A = this chain, B = another copy of it.
Amino acid sequence: MAGTRLTAEREGELYAAVLDLLREVGYDALTMDAVASRTRSSKATLYRQWGSKPELVARALRHSKPVSTADVDTGTLRGDFHALVERSDDCQLERDSALMRGLAQAVHQNPDLHQALRELLVAPELTGLDGLLRRAVDRGEIPAGTPALRYVPHMILGAFVARELIEDRSPDRAFLADYVDAVVLPALGVA
């Protein structure tokens, strides 16, 4: 079967298995052997298709979380943020949070993984968020040059991390919706 492309369905199954393993054992303990065994594939196939573990993990992450900001455009900044919150679900938020935890140390120790993550996952999200904010500036909702504009990703990440570390709970939609109204919009000068 050398040279055969995986079907999209099979590829999706593989990515899901990689993320399950990542949540269970963390990045360092995730081996290509474990992925091969869990998915009943050969290591040769994994390496041929993805080249390396960081690339496989980054692809799996990207597959699980398509850029969701692109088609949100409700006409107000508050509407856009709340539409983003509403389209997520609590179970997915909890799983995303587990992934972030498992990767925090790994991305620092693995420049390849960090690079792959930035290109595949972080950069598209930031671009989507950027578009959403730029429209709000264009509409006059946010004064151009508002200092908090460059820190919106920081505020949002903080909501996820502190919810875990301080409150010992997973972020859910009700919490995120409240955080948007209490922190993100006021920091941007939007009432």
| B166 in contact with A153 (CB, 8 Å) | yes
Beyond the given A151-B162, A154-B179, A155-B155, please list 6 additional residue pairs across the A-B interface where CB-CB is below 8 A.
A104-B104, A114-B168, A147-B186, A151-B179, A157-B158, A157-B162
A169 to B161, CA, bound (A): 18
User: Does A34 lie at the interface of the complex (its beta carbon under 8 Å from any beta carbon of B)?
Assistant: no
Option from B98, B122, B166 in Cβ contact (under 8 Å) with A122: B166
Q: How many of chain A's residues touch chain B, expressed as a range?
A: 35 or more
Copies in the complex: 2
Interface positions of A (Cβ within 8 A of B): 26, 98, 101-102, 104-105, 107-108, 114, 118, 122, 126, 147-148, 150-151, 153-159, 161-166, 168, 178-179, 181-183, 186-189
| A154 in contact with B183 (CB, 8 Å) | yes
* CB-CB nearest in chain B for A182: B147
